[in-house]
Amino acid sequence: MNTQKQDNPSNENLHTVEDIIHLVETKTSGGYIYRGEQKCYCKVSSSLYRQYGMKIEHSDIEVIQKETLAAAEKHTKHLRQDFAAFLNLSGRNTDETIDFEILVELQHCGGNTNLIAFTTDYRIALFWACDGAPSEDGRLILQRTDGIKNWIHYSRNPRHRVVTQKSRFVRPPKGFIELDEDDIVTIPADLKKPMLEYLQNYHDISTETIYSDLYGFIRNQGIHESAYAELYRGLACGDQAIKATTDEEEQQEYEKSIAHYTKAIELKSGFSEAYYNRGNTYQHKGNYDNAIKDYNTAIKLKNDYAEAYYKRGNAYIRKGDFDHAIQDYNTAIQLKPNYADAYSNRGHAYDKENKPDHAIQDYNTAIQLKPDHALTYNNRGTTYGKRGYLDHAIEDFNTAVRLNPDYAEVYCNRGYAYQYKGELDKAIIDFDKAIQLQPDLTEAYNNRGIAYIKKGEFERAIEDYTKAIELDPDYAEAYHNRGHAYRESGDFENAINDYTQVIQLKSDYVSAYYCRAVTQLHLQAWERAKSDLVTVENLGADIAAAFRNAFGSVENFEQTTGIQLPEDIATLLTPPQA
């Protein structure tokens, strides 16, 4: 990471990890020890002071310390003997030295002492400041050694993490240290995680390296178990979201799920499974950018995480980024060659990129690997339908329905294929079934409306388009089709209103301009009609060809409708002579 110094650092303007490193290096240049604290406490104090300091006179802290040592004597006789032999102690300072080593052991095991742990390495202190309380600011204490030399001690026992942590212990007579504001660097809460990542990636400072003894194992074991407990709670809330009967309940459960995954990540910063599952939840909520960020982190932590590549590919598809989706599916398949779902979804991405041969090849492979996957048959059927292979499409839809009789989208797609074949009654039966299974399936209402128009049942078509619009007020195609139904039934004003709505939703919707122009011709609103026809022409469409396909010729339109077109409009609608 770049830690190049910047100009004029200040404790009030820390926006990046680099800012903090620069500030610390600027403030300290030898003669310092450091302490990191997860929260901004009132004092820098010993645990013994925090236990008794508000209840006794400061001068009594060391008295209590001696009492603590005396009470612990029967439990520490073996330590006293071991330390005396191990450290080769003799002389009048032996008891004082051994007392200090026992205090270090007590603090190591979680007991209260009048020792305040510091380190000679500010990076280790930064780790302490950031390793916990992720939603609160931490702080780094910069302590000059001048003036407190008699309070500073170091352990002569190298058996545990004291060496790894480059520890120094301050034993203040009053139980706390007086600090100036200039001795404190505040670590903003939002920089704690980036700082931990920086320390691990560039200095190999992490929970595993700082707590490298049996205590570290026990600490990590507790964190590990707590993190997994939060992960499983997140999964349970996700299951409840799937079972929810209302959108509000579903979103509430997803929010709970995200909160649990976030807690798991706070407990265990390198928890790839928590990032992965939180990404899945964001994707369920439609928050694809946050989902992709979490998948990115999961992959960074575990670069062979095939499922994370697959899920990130799904998020890219939903964002319409098919190139990145295909790249992720490629990687997922490389890592897991029999990954049927990845083949299936890569086929879907190829279909969206108008590469039907690639799509069908992937669908074929997916079906070989997973013959009972209804989704793949549905997707292959859709691709066949786009290529005009309607019988092949219907065959795939039939298989999908057999595998999953409650698959509403398949009925809708099969109905669409029947509609293109001209089998309108079969199409309507399938759309009815799709709506029965999924009453909010807008495409089914829209497509059934098309079938009703073809049957000349305009009122029923209008009802279906209206329902589709109620479900999705931004459904431009439904407005367009309802406008067509109104026009065919002679309701030109409502038709124009619907075409106008389409244009407001999609300003480059060529067909809406053309259809509105034709409707204006029926109303003999020449200027408005001409304006729309010119717009169609400017958008690159051949309006003469479209008019000829619909009405045969200008003369035929005039004879059929009894409307005499102005010469300038007739010219626009007449193909040039060959």
pLDDT tens string 510-541: 999 999 999 999 999 999 999 999 999 999 99
Residue ranges in 285-404 assigned as alpha helix (H): 288-301, 306-318, 322-335, 340-352, 356-369, 374-386, 390-403
pTM above 0.75, yes or no: no
Q: Residue 136 — very low, low, confident or very high, per pLDDT cuts 50/70/90?
A: confident
Q: Which pLDDT does position 110 carry in this prediction?
A: 72
Q: Which pLDDT does position 1 carry in this prediction?
A: 42
Q: Which long-range contacts (CB under 8 A, 24 or more apart) does 456-465 make?
A: 458/485, 458/486, 458/488, 458/489, 459/489, 461/485, 462/486, 462/489
Q: Residue 250 — very low, low, confident or very high, per pLDDT cuts 50/70/90?
A: very high
Q: Which pLDDT does position 164 carry in this prediction?
A: 81
With respect to residue 372, please indicate whether it lies within any of the assigned structural domains.
no
Burial 430-448 (b: 16+ CB within 10 A, else e): bbebbbebbeebbbbbbbb
CA 322 – CA 299 distance, rounded (Å): 19
Which is more confidently placed, 103 or 391?
A: 391
Question: What is the rounded average pLDDT of the residues 345-354?
Answer: 96
**DSSP assignment of 428-492:** HHHHHHHHHH-TT-HHHHHHHHHHHHHTT-HHHHHHHHHHHHHH-TT-HHHHHHHHHHHHHTT-H
CA 428 – CA 444 distance, rounded (Å): 9
Which is more confidently placed, 97 or 20?
A: 20
Q: What angle do CA 118, 123, 127 make, to 5 degrees?
A: 80
Residue 3 clears pLDDT 50, i.e. is over it:
no
CA 313 – CA 295 distance, rounded (Å): 10
44 beta partners = 177
With respect to residue 25, please indicate whether it lies within any of the assigned structural domains.
yes
Contact status, residue 267 vs residue 310, Cβ threshold 8 Å: no
Question: What is the rounded average pLDDT of the residues 223-247?
Answer: 90
With respect to residue 537, please indicate whether it lies within any of the assigned structural domains.
yes
Give the range among 49-63, 373-387, 494-508 with minimum mean pLDDT: 49-63
177 beta partners = 44
Q: Which pLDDT does position 9 carry in this prediction?
A: 44
Q: Which pLDDT does position 54 carry in this prediction?
A: 56
Q: Which pLDDT does position 114 carry in this prediction?
A: 86
Residue 8 clears pLDDT 80, i.e. is over it:
no
Q: Which pLDDT does position 410 carry in this prediction?
A: 97
With respect to residue 67, please indicate whether it lies within any of the assigned structural domains.
yes
With respect to residue 395, please indicate whether it lies within any of the assigned structural domains.
no
CA 285 – CA 491 distance, rounded (Å): 41
State the Cα torsion 15-18-21-22 to the nearest 10°. Answer: -90
With respect to residue 28, please indicate whether it lies within any of the assigned structural domains.
yes
Q: Residue 162 — very low, low, confident or very high, per pLDDT cuts 50/70/90?
A: confident
CA 19 – CA 15 distance, rounded (Å): 6
CA 118 – CA 154 distance, rounded (Å): 10
Residues 6+ apart with CB under 8 A from 74: none
Domain boundary among 152, 179, 212: 212
**Could you give the percent of the chain with pLDDT greater than 90?**
62
Residue 218 clears pLDDT 70, i.e. is over it:
no
Residue 318 in tokens: 């939903």
Residue 69 in tokens: 């040592």
Q: Which pLDDT does position 578 carry in this prediction?
A: 53
Residue 366 clears pLDDT 90, i.e. is over it:
yes
CA 356 – CA 349 distance, rounded (Å): 10
Residue 212 clears pLDDT 70, i.e. is over it:
no
Residues 6+ apart with CB under 8 A from 84: 94, 98
Domain boundary among 212, 228, 252: 212
Residue 386 clears pLDDT 80, i.e. is over it:
yes
Domain boundary among 178, 212, 246: 212
Q: Which pLDDT does position 5 carry in this prediction?
A: 37
Domain of residue 134 covers 17-212
For the chain, how many structural domains are there in total?
Answer: 2
With respect to residue 64, please indicate whether it lies within any of the assigned structural domains.
yes
Q: Which pLDDT does position 262 carry in this prediction?
A: 93
Which three-class secondary structure state does DSSP give residue 247?
Answer: helix
Residue ranges in 244-319 assigned as alpha helix (H): 247-267, 272-284, 288-301, 306-318
With respect to residue 425, please indicate whether it lies within any of the assigned structural domains.
no
